Amino acid sequence: MTYIAVVLVLASAFCHALWNVISKQQTPSLSFFALVSAAATLILSPIVLLKFKSVVFVIQHYPIEIALTGICQALYFVGLAGAYRHGNFSVSYPLARALPVIFTPLAAFLLFELKFSFIQSLCALGILLGCIAISWPRKTEYNEHLSSSLLHALLAAIGTTGYTLIDQTVLNSLASQSQFNESESVKALIYMWCLSASSMIAMCTILFVSKSGRDAWRDVVSNKKKISAMTAFIMTLTYSLVLIAMHATENVSYLVALRQSSIVIGVIFGVVFLKENFGKLRCLGLALIMSGIYLMIPIDG
């Protein structure tokens, strides 16, 4: 893995933690993330103009998958908004980021009968114990708010697991499509636009069925356009940096492991900028999570 790839992935991890902490500061709702998704769709729209036929190809061949992954992303944003409204960022963010590392291989094992090694099982246990340590209530915290935050973080993790499995299936299928002659980066950007559009549609559908949802949408459009656009730009930049880094490394497993540095960066943001208390037990939990993640990811050679 080259130094350039390391810098790019660390920058991506920084950006991921950054757009999340910005979202936390907005006391986010579903309407906020719907507007962020709309802005992200607009930012990525040049790919539609440049590669219109390829975009149509993807939509025609994977309509169900795109719809399902949009629903899963909407679920993720519902969970993320609730977790950030009710709990500390330095607790909610690591949980929402770490739990899918357990859930994704577990779901793959249950659905596709993929093997789950003994070492991976131990690592998953370590991550789980770390999550318990991080979420353990302090005397100064209201258990009701903490419980709501944890449930929403769990919902976000389930949404992440769902769209991760679907995305992996679609991208693997696209790679084998001989008539879809585009570079890997272009394929990923096209699919990313499809996901942004799908999640935007899913969230707007949820919002627009009720008057309160429509009012919330109008309010966020009136008052949070600029911050939503900035958040969307950082989100898009986060993934774009990873795409560039993929071309600068031969072993993507290293890249996947290094991306999890965003958990540590997120905790630092929560403590430094949001003035949240973390404590020794949560430091231990964070160490267990990071150790489990790095050991769980297969590294070849």
- Please tell me the pTM assigned to this model: 0.89
Question: Using CA of residue 57, residue 63, residue 208, residue 79, what is the dihedral sign?
Answer: negative
Q: DSSP per residue over 92-113, as a string?
A: HHHHHHHHHHHHHHHHHHHHH-
Residuewise pLDDT in 10s, the chain (301 residues): 577 888 888 899 999 999 999 999 998 999 999 999 999 999 999 999 999 999 999 999 999 999 999 999 999 999 999 999 988 898 899 989 888 888 887 887 788 776 767 787 888 888 888 888 887 766 555 565 567 888 999 999 999 999 988 988 888 888 888 888 888 788 888 989 999 999 999 999 999 999 999 999 999 999 999 999 999 999 999 988 887 777 666 656 567 667 888 888 999 999 889 998 888 888 898 899 888 887 876 654 4
Residue 178, CA distances (Å) to 43, 172, 286 in order: 28, 12, 44
User: Domain-by-domain residue ranges, the chain?
Assistant: 27-235+281-296
Instruction: Give CA 66 to chain center in angstroms.
Output: 16
